[in-house]
Chains A and B, each alone.
Chain A
């Protein structure tokens, strides 16, 4: 810091400039704090959504698996395996768009799109139990929840990165830039005070000498 102070011109102009910079830095820190607060609130709202959605997804998956096992129990594991070999596959696509959110940040929007709408049963209705269809339908419902969860988790990831960046910026301002500015301002003020003091002494000395000279001339 002494190297940096040595490079500073200790003038009044520089002091004014530095004070102006400090005021701006204080303002930026305030704005950053408010932004971090807003982003944190948004983050907490998203986090609150995750737990019930995850719970719903696990419950539906558990029900789907139970129904699948019950289908194996009633019709036989081999029969169900055979049916699954030739079941009509459902094509899913995920559309990945972005939408503007808080503070103009771009958040992802995932949407699950069924590629081919299957009109009718996926399995032979004469040969397979109804709980196989029910299981298949629950798995399909779960996929929508999974995609929604992925969207929320991605948004949380983005928010966490932005919050971390802003906090780093805030910390840099608060603990590096502002103290440096304050130190520099203090330094310049001290130099200027010292200069003023010396000037005052010089003026007093000069005045005394002038008085003495005037007195000598008068006699």
Chain B
């Protein structure tokens, strides 16, 4: 492992990690007005984007947009300073946000929105900047046209295959599921290019994220009575811990508890320590609410990222980089929860239940 490849990025990450808001500071914003929250955020790393939001347009949507723009900007800065192989993984991870632009364009065409209305939903990321998205929207009249215009990116070919299924079944989100699955497969393939400790860390962190997505999907679909054949269409069976066989076992569980039991068993079998911590907590809580389960899974991801930083030296491996990006993302999610909760006048205790903070 060439540790020195991280020499440029590590100082920036160390400083940026110190700028992350402490949990106490985040919970201190619960129940505050939007004006107060924006004035607190002006003294943080979100300063530039928050200042651009004019006070008369201070809504949860404008603040949320500012936070997301900050995240994309931070991401792109980190990508620029990262070594080549890490940049490949980061560009694959950035596709999660790029693909949101594609989904927004497809949804806008399906809903027959004007270009201006559609652009409100687009947060440019990666290769899909504002100009290219606007051009795509202006030059297309239908979903098929959007897919044609995206043919220079890999999304075009992914959507072409999914489009036939969409025409047959008339279920729009199958296009989105195809994009999501493609992105996660691409991310997992990019991890394969690493070796040694970097590969181990990346597989743990990103593997747990993908497994969380699969578990949420299985539990949610089972609660709705969706057939196993249909659930299989939504799953991403790439992880070493929850591969195809383990996911099939989880799907065959009669209720949430039996599904969780099979997940704990799979994690123990794969000797996946971090997975065991998360699944065992889910098992012990005996929760039946899907929302609580999702929050616990997300919290598990936060704690795993923090454990990664403590377990391995923070420097000279990919651990700090991935952990920082995830922690930054969860910070934005928490701020978004607090901001929308403030606007909708949700009680502070209800807001705090939805926050994803380390214990």
Contact = CB atoms under 8 A, between A and B. Distances in A.
B137 to A, nearest CB: 14
A98 B269 CA distance: 63
Contacts, number: 112
A97 to B, nearest CB: 30
Interface stretch (B126-134, B219-227, B243-251): B219-227
A153 interface: no
B254 interface: no
B340 A85 contact: no
Contacts of B224: 120-121, 133
Given A82-B104, A82-B121, A121-B221, A134 B340 contact: no
Given A82-B121, A130-B290, A73 B351 contact: yes
Interface in B167-224: 171-173, 176-177, 180-181, 213, 216-217, 219-221, 223-224
B64 A78 contact: yes
Contact of A86 (B172, B230, B341): B172
Contacts of B290: 130-131, 133-134
Label chain B's interface by main secondary structure.
helix
Interface in A67-92: 67, 69-70, 72-74, 76-78, 81-83, 85-86, 88
B177 to A, nearest CB: 6
Interface in B262-309: 290-291, 293-294
Contacts of A77: 60-61, 64, 340
A78 B351 contact: no
B36 interface: no
Contact of B213 (A72, A74, A82, A126): A126
B291 A134 contact: yes
Interface of A: 66-67, 69-70, 72-74, 76-78, 81-83, 85-86, 88, 119-121, 123-127, 129-131, 133-134
Q: Which 5 A-B pairs have the closest CB atoms?
A: A130-B290, A124-B173, A85-B111, A73-B337, A73-B340
